Structure 1
Amino acid sequence: MANLKEVKQRITSVTSTQQITRAMKMVAAAKLRRAQDRILKMRPYSQKLTSILNDVISGMGGELDVVYAQQREVKSVLLVVMTSDKGLCGAFNSNAIKAAVYLLENRFKAADVTILPLGKKAFEYFSKRGYQINSDYYGIFADVKYDEVREIALYAMKGFESGKFDHVAMVYNHFRNVATQDVTVEQFLPMGVDASEKKEVSTDYILEPSKEYVVQDLVPTALKTQLYKAVLESNASEHGARMTSMDKATENAGELLKELKLLYNRSRQAAITNEILEIVAGANALEGN
Structure 2
Amino acid sequence: MSNPKETKKRILSINSVLKTTESMKMISVVKLKKSKKSLSHIKKYSEYIEKLFQYFLLTEEKDSLKKNKYFFSKEKKEKKRLFLIITSNRGLCGSFNSLIFDKIHKIIQENIHDKCLFFSIGKKGLDFLSKKHRYKIYDGNKQFVSHYTYKYKETYPFIIKLIEDFLSKKISSIFLIYNHLKNTLFQEVVVEKFLPIPFSVYNDFSKKPDPILEPSKKMILDCIVPKYLNVKFFKRLLESFTSEHTARMISMHKATENASDIRKNLILNYNKERQITITKEILEIISGLEALK
Is the shorter-chain TM-score for this pair beyond 0.5, marking a shared fold? yes
Show CA shifts across 1:17-65 (max 9, x none).
1101111111111111111111111113224423443454366201243
Mapped to 1, the partners of 2:210 and 2:11 lie a distance apart of 68
1:148 is displaced (CA, Å) by 2.1
Instruction: Determine if contact 1:79/1:113 at 8 Å carries over to the other structure.
Output: yes
For 1:24, the equivalent position in structure 2 comes to 24
Where does 1:213-228 land on structure 2 (aligned, <5 Å)?
Answer: 213-228=219-234
Gaps of 5+ in 2: none
Secondary structure of the corresponding residue to residue 70 of structure 2? helix
Is the CA contact 1:61–1:199 (under 8 Å) kept in the aligned structure 2? no
State whether residues 11 and 260 of structure 1, in contact with CA within 8 Å, keep that contact through their aligned partners in structure 2. Answer: yes
Following superposition, the deviation at residue 72 of structure 1 comes to 3.6
| Equivalent residues in 2 for 1:150-161, closer than 5 Å | 150-161=156-167
State how far apart, in whole Å, the 1-side matches of 2:63 and 2:122 are: 40
> 2:144 is matched with which residue?
137
Could you tell me whether the CA contact under 8 Å between 1:68 and 1:189 is conserved in 2?
yes
| Correspondence 1:120 to 2:123 | yes
How many positions carry a matched residue from both structures? 284
SS of residue matched to 2:150 = coil
Q: What is the match of residue 10 of structure 1?
A: 10
Q: Which amino acid aligns with 2:62?
A: G
Q: Give the match for residue 208 of structure 1.
A: 213
Q: Which moved more, 1:18-27 or 1:243-252?
A: 243-252
Shift of 1:178: 4.3
Question: What is the distance in 2 between the residues matched to 1:267 and 1:198?
Answer: 73
CA distance in structure 2 between the aligned counterparts of 1:177 and 1:203, rounded to whole angstroms? 38
Over 3 Å counting, the alpha-carbon distance change for 1:198 and 1:62 in structure 2 is farther
User: Which stretch shows the higher mean deviation, 183-192 or 68-77?
Assistant: 68-77
Give me the whole-angstrom Cα distance separating, in 2, the residues matched to 1:72 and 1:244: 45
Does residue 1:63 correspond to 2:68, yes or no?
Answer: no
Shift of 1:217: 2.3
In 2: Cα distance, 1:3 partner to 1:253 partner? 21
2:82 corresponds in structure 1 to 78
Give the letter aligned to residue 88 of structure 2.
S
- CA distance in 2 between counterparts of 1:180 and 1:38 reads 21
Matched residue, 1:279: 285
Compare 11-20 and 57-66 and name the one that shifted more: 57-66
Give the direction of change, closer, same or farther, for the CA distance of 1:234–1:228 in structure 2 (3 Å limit): same
Deviations, residues 168-195 of structure 1 (Å, cap 9, x unaligned)? 1111112344444332111111111279
Q: Deviations over 1:77-126 (max 9, x none)?
A: 111111111101111111122222211221x3221122111100000011
The answer as to whether partners of 1:81 and 1:97 remain within 8 angstroms in 2 is no
Whole-Å separation in 2 of the counterparts to 1:176 and 1:187: 19
Task: Provide the residue aligned with 1:234 in structure 2.
Answer: 240
Question: Superposition RMSD on alpha carbons, in Å?
Answer: 2.4
**Is the 1:119–1:140 Cα contact (8 Å) retained in structure 2?**
no
In the alignment, residue 244 of structure 2 is paired with which amino acid? Answer: E
Letter of the structure 2 residue corresponding to residue 235 of structure 1: F
Query: Aligned partners of 2:16 and 2:181: how far apart in 1?
Result: 31
Change in 2 beyond 3 A, CA 1:240/1:140: farther
In structure 2, relative to structure 1, the CA distance for the partners of 1:119 and 1:283 (3 Å cut) is same
> Alpha-carbon deviation of 1:244?
1.7
CA contact (8 A) 1:18 1:253 kept: yes
Identity of aligned residues (%): 33
